[in-house]
Amino acid sequence: MPLPPIEYADASAPVRAVYDDIKKSRNVPDVNHFWKYLAHDPATLKRTWESIKQIMAPGALDPLTKEMIYLAVSVSNGCAYCIASHTAAARKAGMTDAQFAEVMAVTGMANETNRLANGYRVPIDKAFE
């Protein structure tokens, strides 16, 4: 059976420190399941959170664009948990129904043409090399 989630009350000090930072950074009362399961490995919990905090921060791309890319990849990989959580995150960052529909349409088409290019064994154009 899977390892159980680790709730705040049962967490070690290093795990609580990460939970506290997630809650403060995202202004939420509790952390998602993802973090409560990852907490079985405090080093990976801390590293993953710090990586995500760095990567998803506003930069050359705004947070909504980043969340939509995260969602597109999760959809392409078929990760049910990640599709659910990153759809929610993208919604929170402002994704509208129309934008969601376009993310799906682009993701679907990219998956189709990726295979057409594979199957027809299309060589890379000189201009793209």
The one-letter amino acid at 104: M
The CA distance from 13 to 121, in Å, is: 54
Q: Write down the least CB distance from residue 100 to its own copies, Å.
A: 8
In the range 18-37, which residues lie near its own copies by CB under 8 A? 32-34, 37
- Nearer to its own copies among residue 17 and residue 34 (C-beta): 34
The tokens describing 64, both together, are 């909504």
Q: Is residue 8 a contact residue for its own copies (CB under 8 A)?
A: no
The CA distance from 11 to 21, in Å, is: 14
Residue 97 vs residues 13, 34, 79, 87, 88: alpha-carbon distances, Å: 40, 25, 21, 11, 12
Q: Write down the least CB distance from residue 58 to its own copies, Å.
A: 10
- Nearer to its own copies among residue 20 and residue 51 (C-beta): 51
In the range 87-126, which residues lie near its own copies by CB under 8 A? 87-88, 96-99, 101-125
In the range 55-94, which residues lie near its own copies by CB under 8 A? 55-56, 59-61, 65-66, 68-88
- Residues 113-121: contacts with CB within 8 Å, 24+ apart? none
